Structure 1
Amino acid sequence: MGLMLPPVALRSAASVTALWSFPDLDTGTLCHHAKILGHAGEHFVDSVLLRFGLLPLALPEHSSADRLVLHPDAVLKLQIKTATAERGGAWHFNISKGYSHSPGGLRPYAASDFDLLALVVLPENVERFSRDRRPAHRILRSEIAGLRADPRASLEEALLSVGLAAPAAPDDCGAPQGDHALIP
């Protein structure tokens, strides 16, 4: 009969249709789907880290950080914040934990909560890594081209700020040695 997949847990076909137009969405739709768009930002950062040879490991929902990042010399806690709408020529990031409508409300992060911060401008497919713990950050529209041109620059700078060098590239670029071909 064939493989039967379990039903996909979507709220409704309307939610898929609403997100299909991303990033051209109204504020209400962006707010309604903030959780899933936040996950998209986290996976975007995963993709960037993996491209540069760093392994990100997802942490449970209510952890103080979103990822553990395996660097050859350390394990780093990474907090990821995603912006989906531009305001006044910039994307703005609130660096706090919790939710405004929850009993605990919004709270500042403790110094031990994370080592690095990744700020994702999801509509532009760019990110900036930082160690800066200010409660508010912004990425200007004028910065987007530079972030896109060199997505590794801010990562290297952030790693240096915590005392870690960027992982060195192998001299042989990973080429197989001797007769050991990857594909027979």
Structure 2
Amino acid sequence: MPVQMPLANLTLPPVALHDAAAVSALWSFPDLDTGTLCHHAKILGEAGERFVDSILLRFGMLPLALPEHSSADRLVLHPCAVLKLQVKTATAQRGGGWHFNISKGYNHSPGGVGPYAASDFDLLALVVLPENVVRFSRDRRSSQRIMRSEIAGLRADPRASLEEAMLALGLAAPAPPDNGLAALEGPALIP
């Protein structure tokens, strides 16, 4: 039986594709204890990044994943620019909201934890994974939060914060195509 040889620079995901223990542990998400959330933080962070990808793709923007130790998580192709996007994911609520530490690195790593440089990213995406919402921002404060009272608005208009963040960068939101539909009056008839 032929076997595919390993491809150069191709790495497997950080967890096994069929890790029964992870599936069992995460099946009750978001109703998990802190220890389980911490143990599976990497995969939950990946879920947050892919959720952001989904939002961007829905609005016609192409997100490209960057290697794990890059200063940003994604490059986003905007019609006028290539943007560096940093994604932060929160999984547990405390004090009426979800808290985000905007720092790079992690405890017990050789480089430790530190602030991002101004050139590390252009946009920030804060994901509240249990609520399936994201807020895009240019804000670089090291500690940020999304309050429970903001969730309904983020869910109702997932594009609003993206447009606001792009305007803060000096980029206009991509214009909808002029396909002649605006000239139609009344309901469109489909033969």
- Percent identity for Structure 1 against Structure 2: 84
Cα drift, residue 158 of structure 1: 0.1
- 39-48 or 165-174, larger mean C-alpha shift: 165-174
Counterpart of 2:92 in 1: which secondary structure? coil
Counterpart of 1:110 in 2: which secondary structure? coil
Structure 1 letter corresponding to 2:145: R
Cα drift, residue 14 of structure 1: 2.1
Cα drift, residue 12 of structure 1: 4.3
What is the aligned partner in structure 1 of residue 38 from structure 2?
A: 31
Question: What is the CA deviation profile of residues 98-126 of structure 1, one whole-angstrom value per residue up to 9, with x for unaligned ones?
Answer: 01111211010000000000000000000
What is the aligned partner in structure 2 of residue 86 from structure 1?
A: 93
Structure 1 letter corresponding to 2:118: A
Question: What is the CA deviation profile of residues 25-64 of structure 1, one whole-angstrom value per residue up to 9, with x for unaligned ones?
Answer: 1000000000000000000000000000100000000000
Distance 1:85 1:153 in 2: 24
1:68 aligns with 2:68: no
Q: Give the TM-score taking structure 2 as reference length.
A: 0.85
1:102 aligns with 2:102: no
What is the aligned partner in structure 2 of residue 54 from structure 1?
A: 61
State the Cα RMSD in Å: 1.5
Cα drift, residue 9 of structure 1: 2.1
Structure 2 letter corresponding to 1:172: N
Structure 1 letter corresponding to 2:63: P
Counterpart of 1:133 in 2: which secondary structure? coil
What is the aligned partner in structure 1 of residue 132 from structure 2?
A: 125
Unmatched 5+ stretches in structure 2: 1-14, 182-191
Unmatched 5+ stretches in structure 1: 1-7, 175-184
Distance 2:180 2:29 in 1: 37
How does 1:137-156 map onto structure 2 within 5 Å? 137-156=144-163
- Of the candidates 109, 114, 118, which is equivalent to residue 111 of structure 1? 118
Structure 1 letter corresponding to 2:82: V
Distance 1:49 1:41 in 2: 13
Q: Give the TM-score taking structure 1 as reference length.
A: 0.88
Structure 2 vs 1, CA of residues 64 and 173 (structure 1 numbering), >3 Å: closer, same or farther?
farther
Distance 1:173 1:138 in 2: 42
